[in-house]
Structure 1
Amino acid sequence: MKTLGLIMIVRDEADLIEKNIRFHAKQGFDYFAIMDNASTDGTRDILEDLSKNIPMRILSQRDTDYRQDAWAGSLAERLSQRGIDIAISLDADEFISGLTSSTFKEIATRLQHPVMCPRHNMVPLKAELSEFAKGSLLATRYRVARPLPTQLPIMLRRMPGKMLFPLRGLRSIARGNHSIEHEIGKRAVSDDALIRHFPVRTYDRFLVKLEQARARFRQERDVSETTSWHIRRWLELMDFGIIENEYKSFFVDGNDIHTYLNDGTIVEDLFSRSL
């Protein structure tokens, strides 16, 4: 059977990183290539502890200009050197699995060419806002299955998927990991795998991540202002002093949930109970 590797670039993900790594190890990932980008919250210590039992390579990156494409490419090269056949690049708040009883590895090892794996947001209810403040991040039980055709509300918009690809023939990974350059030209969209994305975390963490993004944007050169447009929008709202209202909008109002459930925008998804 082919071998499967996971690429991750992380910074201050102590609340999720152990759940993420252990979940994907159970899904059949053989090796993890992880870059710790100047974490200060204990993320690196958690990774070092996990590495005692789960095969992984941990690299340190102190730069904060977040050259995600170049860094992901470097991690892909580490996987190739280990003899890994197939890889995908995910964030710490993303969990990929099959839509059947098969492990993700059983699905991935049938791969003959790069495929796009769909990604859906997991969204909490406004009634759960106080639980999120306590750190109950994975209690979310609703998934955006039929995204709205608009950019707002931001959590209900269509999310670009991420590429699963053979490492042999890989030329580069684009920023965001939503596309790649590969010697194999054929592409397809997976119909038996799904990435569940948990974008809503605590409010304090949200603010910290925004300030990290602000510092990163100041260092960027030749990057379109449409890149990470939603984060740039949030920074503007922060500067106007209304970012807390935006954060609260990430939670689905109890008056809307029945409408969204009835029209299929949102479905109940108990995935988080398996983590």
Structure 2
Amino acid sequence: MMVRDEVDIVAAMVEHHVAQGLDHLIVTDNASVDGTREVLEEYAAQGVIELHHDPVHRKQQHSVVTAMARRARTHFAADWVVNADADEFFVPVDKRLTLRDALEEIPVGLFAFTAEVHNMVGPPAERGAGIGRLHWRDRRSVAELNRVGIHAQPTPNALHRGDSEVVVAQGNHFVSLPSRGQPAPELEIEVYHLPWRSWSQLERKVLNAGLGYAASPDLRPSKNHHGMADYRRYLQGRLRYAYLLRTPRIEDLEGGEVASFERDTWLDSHLRALTGRAVLPHQLARCLADEASDLIGPVEHAEGAHLGSLFHGLEQENLALGARLAAWERKVHAMNGQIRNLKRDTRRR
């Protein structure tokens, strides 16, 4: 795991994966300034993680994670490697199993396979990890997501066998090892993902990502890249409205379309049950602290979401206008080429 400024949730992530039976956790802190580094140092002192430090603020995740993935094999003889972010919780679909149980039964001859990633959503809040609030799986269709400014559901994450030469792509979604299939259905693994835990967390995450890409001119993220789209919104002063637009209203969650949101409190219950046997109970307790006072009220939510919808409409108009302009530029370029050819043919005559 490579992490930067995730103090609200990083302890929960570590405790979860320790409880799931992973042998070793290799973590690189990317010069966090919010207390994340200090939390990780506590876990390192307990011997449950191997902690590295990378002070460079660029988008070098692929190279750092690749180095950690290779180290998992060369130093710890890992059979399987899980490359995770701080807001991701890997677990078998069958909750009677631990992650270790499943991985021990999955043949390494698969080389690599993917795990579906499920965004967990809930009412918006100013701050907090959201573990006690984000109780719904986001099942919105692509069309529904597009209407609230989200490009698509998350790409599945790749898990792979230990390999000293593996390459992990930016984002942990793809690796250089070929996949020879998926695990048996009873051994499938999924990921609980908490990407928009609070307004303060999203603002910090977007700013860090935007500055990282700005410092990495060799990386060219897609125009549809969610982080860069949000960074543009941040620079234009409308990220908060985008956050409130994408966050469903409580009435939609509890009484809206069943197909769009599926209630799932497993992660919350699971983490609270770990408190008594956690490596660092006080750090896990901080992640699980009550957030009721930090909720964003329904009136502000509705008003902000309305503004977010208006801004999103303008975004779509600008994109459509840009596409038409690009099409006209291609036509003009083609016509200029035809004119040059006609002039050349005329001179030859």
TM-score, with structure 1 as normaliser: 0.86
- Paired residue secondary structure (1:249): helix
Name the aligned partner's letter for residue 179 of structure 1: F
1:94 and 2:88 correspond: yes
Distance in 1 (alpha carbons) for counterparts of 2:13 and 2:195: 14
Distance in 1 (alpha carbons) for counterparts of 2:90 and 2:221: 29
Distance 1:154 1:33, change over 3 A: farther
Per-residue deviation, 1:212: 1.6
Partner of 2:201: 205
> 1:259 aligned to 256, 260, 277, which one?
256
Partner of 2:222: 226
Partner of 1:5: none
The 5 Å alignment of 1:163-202 reads: 163-168=158-163, 170-182=165-177, 184-188=178-182, 191=185, 192-202=188-198
Name the aligned partner's letter for residue 66 of structure 2: G
Residue by residue over 1:47-73, the C-alpha shift from the partner in whole angstroms, topping out at 9 and shown as x without a partner, is: 121123343211100111121111011
Higher helix proportion (structure 1 or 2)? 2
Partner of 2:155: 160
Distance 1:154 1:121, change over 3 A: farther
Distance 1:235 1:156, change over 3 A: closer
Distance in 2 (alpha carbons) for counterparts of 1:171 and 1:203: 36
What stretches of structure 2 of length at least 5 have no aligned partner?
A: 272-349
Comparing 171-180 with 132-141, greater Cα deviation is found at 132-141
Comparing 36-45 with 187-196, greater Cα deviation is found at 187-196
TM-score, with structure 2 as normaliser: 0.69
Contact 1:121 1:156 (C-alpha < 8 Å) held by counterparts: no
Name the aligned partner's letter for residue 120 of structure 2: M
Partner of 2:303: none
1:82 and 2:76 correspond: yes
Distance in 1 (alpha carbons) for counterparts of 2:72 and 2:114: 20
Distance 1:21 1:49, change over 3 A: same
Higher strand proportion (structure 1 or 2)? 1
Per-residue deviation, 1:45: 1.4
1:143 and 2:137 correspond: yes
Residue by residue over 1:23-44, the C-alpha shift from the partner in whole angstroms, topping out at 9 and shown as x without a partner, is: 1111111100100000111111
- Paired residue secondary structure (1:118): strand
Distance 1:254 1:235, change over 3 A: same
What stretches of structure 1 of length at least 5 have no aligned partner?
A: 1-7
Contact 2:116 2:156 (C-alpha < 8 Å) held by counterparts: yes
Per-residue deviation, 1:88: 1.0
Partner of 2:212: 216
Residue by residue over 1:75-113, the C-alpha shift from the partner in whole angstroms, topping out at 9 and shown as x without a partner, is: 112211122211111111111111220111111122221
Contact 1:120 1:197 (C-alpha < 8 Å) held by counterparts: yes
> 1:235 aligned to 217, 231, 236, which one?
231
Residue by residue over 1:94-142, the C-alpha shift from the partner in whole angstroms, topping out at 9 and shown as x without a partner, is: 11111220111111122221110100000013xxx3xx32525112111
Name the aligned partner's letter for residue 78 of structure 2: I
Distance in 2 (alpha carbons) for counterparts of 1:124 and 1:55: 31
Comparing 148-157 with 201-210, greater Cα deviation is found at 148-157
Residue by residue over 1:131-181, the C-alpha shift from the partner in whole angstroms, topping out at 9 and shown as x without a partner, is: x3252511211112x441245235693211111111136521111110101
Between structure 1 and structure 2, the one with the greater Rg is 2
Residue by residue over 1:4-32, the C-alpha shift from the partner in whole angstroms, topping out at 9 and shown as x without a partner, is: xxxx0001111111111011111111100
Identity fraction in percent:
21
Name the aligned partner's letter for residue 13 of structure 2: N
